[in-house]
Amino acid sequence: MTDWVTISSLATAAGTLVLALATFGSVRSANRSARVAERSLLAGLRPLLVPSRPQDPNEKIRFADDKWVLAPGGGGVAEAGDDAVYFAASLRNVGTGIAVLHGWRFSPGVGLTVEGPPPVSEFRRLSRDLYIPLAEVGFWQGAFRDPSAPEFQTARAAIDAREHLTVDLMYGDYEGGQRMITRFLLTPWKDGNWILAASRHWHLDRDDPR
């Protein structure tokens, strides 16, 4: 005799299993689509800073003490005085989103570290907000103002000796994410100016592409 109750229960269980599998597959597909959409959105906001081009206009930059400097296209500024050491650089944003500069870090000589980015704790915050639009030219500026500080003496000695200078810049997108560190090298030039070059780019909030 056919046990219709058992058959009905098995059919219901099988239908529930099929529905669960279909729901699981649909959720996984939706999650993949959401991740793809999120990555596409982030890619559209991602900045990337490099030196400006030599043919780009000079950047006239004012410091808080009313000191003015002129950063040429493709170059930077490094000046040392008794009361302050000034740095500046002309930059171009070749990414797809606005770059918001967060901080900077100076070291004398040529920085060749490849193991990883320098610690975020070593970066100095900017005294004002600096933004560089996508596909446009902007600038960075920084200064040491304590003549008794070791970094002041180190920077002044390196500038006076016309040594290579390394500056790491930390920046991110307009939403406060996708932080990056780009390492720039200031090379002294015979006309008294400094040529700017980028050597490394590190991602802080996601895996590096290399």
pLDDT digits (tens, 9 = 90+) for 89-134: 999 999 999 999 999 999 999 987 667 899 999 999 999 999 999 9
- Residue holding tokens 């592409």? 209
Contact in structure between 85 and 152 (CB atoms under 8 Å): yes
The 10 Å Cβ neighbour count of residue 94 is 13
**Segment 81-93 mean pLDDT:** 97
**Segment 76-88 mean pLDDT:** 97
What's this model's pTM, rounded to 2 decimal places? Answer: 0.81
**Segment 170-180 mean pLDDT:** 94
Q: Could you give the CA distance from residue 153 to residue 155 in angstroms, rounded to a whole number? A: 6
β-strand pairing of 59-62 with 49-51? unpaired
Quickly state the pLDDT bin for 18 (edges 50, 70, 90).
Answer: low
